[in-house]
Structures are given as structure tokens and as C-alpha cells.
Amino acid sequence: MAGVAEYIKESYIELTEKVTWPTWTELQNSAVLVLIAAIIIAMVIFGMDQIIGYLLNQFYTSLT
């Protein structure tokens, strides 16, 4: 049990003294960047889905 307590103690020390946390501005900038990237990726996937759906529809329509 002493090993677990030592692990928790060392983890706390590392999180409070050794980790460099981002500033609020850096955090906001990163969040905006992730949001923009997610929207762009979603739009690309949506566009690919629409194109593939259209092509498949044309293909199946031409078979009948």
C-alpha cells in the first residue's frame, strides 16, 4: 500500500511543480484551431459522401 501512496504523492508533485500548463489565451487559441479543423474535416467527409452517393445513384439508375 505504501507504493500506491508514493505513486500518488509523486504524481501530485509532478502535476503541480513540473508540468507547464497553458495560459488561458493559448488554451482558447488551441480550442479555436481544433474547432476549425473539425469543421473542415466534417465538410470534406460530407462532400465525399455526397459525391459517392451521387455516383452510386447514377450507377444504379443506369442498370435499370
d(CA 60, CA 64): 7
Q: What is the pLDDT of residues 5-58, one digit of tens each?
A: 999 999 999 999 998 999 999 999 999 999 999 999 999 999 999 999 999 999
CB environment 36-47: b (16+ within 10 A), e (fewer): eeeeeeeeeeee
pTM for the predicted model, two decimal places:
0.68
